[in-house]
């Protein structure tokens, strides 16, 4: 349901440039600022998730985000909308670590990869529908992009209140876990101390930053590219690409999870980077609708492999005592590329060209793939990092 309601963020670049008159660089700067505001929200949400619980954090901050989108719909087209969007993304930052901690709480190492793949599949069932609707609303009824996002968000909260139970581990379980012979064993002390006991996890997070930079261009530079090449038909085409992204996930997720589960998650993650490099790099030369759709399939296969292996590796190496806080700090580290991608992309477009942007995006994906493959070799040979 949340996937269906993702109306605002995929079209935020187009909204800023076409509805509010921002340049590519201004839009990129705004989106980078939005990513920066996500950080304090994430820290607040993660600390609350590890203290008062996962469920209340998800419910309260999701409703606050939805309230911001309702107000943005009411004031659509006015300057205040950008501030409401920034506030909404701050609240979204608080929701995510609590939601990730909850997912990890209710799964085990044995069933986690399959469980995470089902959640990812459910999200993309909705995402196959939402962007198509939003793509047509963008020109005909833009305020309903905000109302729709809020409405589906509220519906998802009602389902959480009805069906989801609190999952925060008890103090007794956390104390017991400190003697476990497991990568999930609890750790005493601060977040920093716990992080330093997981050096490979930190290296992995830094490597994923290059992937997040590359993938973020699908939200920033890709809609600019389709609009540049196809004019008014660009937004609907972009919506179709996002819908195709969801459809490919639905169709290929079970096949890829089943086929690749016998391989190490780090090897699979490295493969996803190679597919990103191919898909994003060839956008530099794409000129027809069919090529855009074909490349969407390529990078989406990379996305499926990444999504079903990255979170699996992270969850299996996160101490039970710090799940909420790890679910904040690691996405912040991994999302650094996502944060700088819009402003960097805007600068590259203005100083050079779209072609240079997509070629450098491919290089970023290759760097990430190489780093993760090196980490895979270290783990395979059981050498200290």
> CA 105 from chain center: how many Å?
20
Mean pLDDT of all residues in 239-243:
87
Taking the C-alpha atoms of residue 123 and residue 99, their distance in angstroms, rounded to an integer, is: 13
Choice between 194 and 256, residue whose per-residue pLDDT is larger: 256
Which stretch of 142-151, 330-339, 343-352 has the lowest confidence by average pLDDT? 330-339
pLDDT digits (tens, 9 = 90+) for 243-274: 898 889 888 988 998 899 889 999 999 999 99
- For residue 181, tell me if it sits in a domain: no
**pLDDT attached to residue 306:** 94
pLDDT digits (tens, 9 = 90+) for 100-116: 888 888 888 778 778 88
- What CATH number does the domain containing 198 carry? 1.20.1250.20
Number of helices (H), then strands (E), belonging to the chain: the values are 17, 0
Where does the pLDDT of residue 178 fall: very low under 50, low under 70, confident under 90, or very high at 90 and above?
A: low
- For residue 2, tell me if it sits in a domain: no
- For residue 1, tell me if it sits in a domain: no
How many distinct structural domains can be found in the chain?
1
- For residue 134, tell me if it sits in a domain: yes
Taking the C-alpha atoms of residue 74 and residue 147, their distance in angstroms, rounded to an integer, is: 8
187 sits in the region (left: phi over 0; alpha: psi -120 to 50; else beta) called: beta
Domain that holds residue 307: 9-170+190-380
pTM listed for this prediction = 0.73
- For residue 358, tell me if it sits in a domain: yes
- For residue 106, tell me if it sits in a domain: yes
Q: What residues contact 354, with CB distance under 8 A and at least 6 apart?
A: 221, 224, 225, 228, 284
Ordered DSSP codes for 360-374 = HHHHHHHHHHHHHHH
- For residue 101, tell me if it sits in a domain: yes
- For residue 4, tell me if it sits in a domain: no
CB 138 within 8 A of CB 233: no
Q: What residues contact 237, with CB distance under 8 A and at least 6 apart?
A: 226, 230, 289, 292
């Amino acid at each position: 349901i949340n996937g269906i309601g993702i109306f605002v963020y995929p079209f935020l670049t187009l909204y800023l440039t076409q509805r509010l008159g921002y340049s590519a660089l201004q839009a990129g700067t705004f989106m980078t600022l939005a990513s920066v505001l996500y950080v304090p929200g994430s820290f607040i949400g993660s600390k609350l998730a590890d203290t008062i619980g996962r469920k209340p954090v998800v419910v309260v901050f999701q409703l606050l985000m939805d309230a911001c989108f309702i107000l943005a719909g009411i004031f659509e087209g006015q300057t205040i909308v950008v501030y409401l969007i920034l506030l909404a993304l701050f609240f979204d930052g608080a929701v995510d670590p609590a939601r990730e901690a909850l997912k990890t709480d209710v799964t085990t190492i044995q069933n986690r990869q399959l469980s995470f793949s089902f959640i990812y599949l459910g999200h993309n069932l909705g995402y196959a529908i939402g962007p198509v609707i939003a793509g047509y609303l963008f020109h005909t009824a833009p305020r309903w992009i905000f109302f729709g996002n809020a409405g589906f968000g509220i519906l998802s909260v009602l389902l959480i209140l009805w069906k989801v139970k609190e999952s925060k581990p008890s103090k007794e379980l956390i104390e017991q876990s400190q003697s476990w012979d497991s990568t999930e064993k609890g750790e005493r002390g601060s977040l920093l101390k716990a992080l330093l006991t997981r050096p490979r996890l930190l290296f992995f997070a830094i490597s994923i930053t290059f992937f997040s930079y590359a993938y973020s261009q699908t939200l920033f530079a890709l809609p600019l590219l389709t609009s540049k090449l196809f004019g008014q038909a660009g937004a609907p085409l972009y919506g179709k690409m996002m819908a195709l992204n969801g459809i490919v996930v639905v169709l290929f997720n079970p096949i890829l999870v089943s086929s690749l589960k016998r391989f190490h998650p780090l090897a699979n993650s490295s493969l996803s980077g190679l597919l990103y490099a191919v898909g994003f790099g060839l956008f530099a030369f794409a000129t027809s609708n069919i090529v855009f759709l074909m490349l969407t399939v390529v990078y989406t296969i990379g996305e499926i492999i990444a999504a079903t292996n990255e979170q699996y590796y992270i969850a299996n190496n996160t101490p039970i005592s710090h799940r909420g806080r790890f679910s904040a700090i690691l996405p912040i580290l991994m999302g650094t590329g996502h944060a700088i991608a819009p402003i960097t992309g805007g600068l590259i477009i203005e100083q050079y060209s779209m072609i240079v942007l997509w070629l450098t995006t491919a290089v970023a994906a290759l760097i990430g793939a190489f780093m993760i493959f090196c980490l895979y070799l270290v783990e395979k040979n059981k050498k200290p990092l």
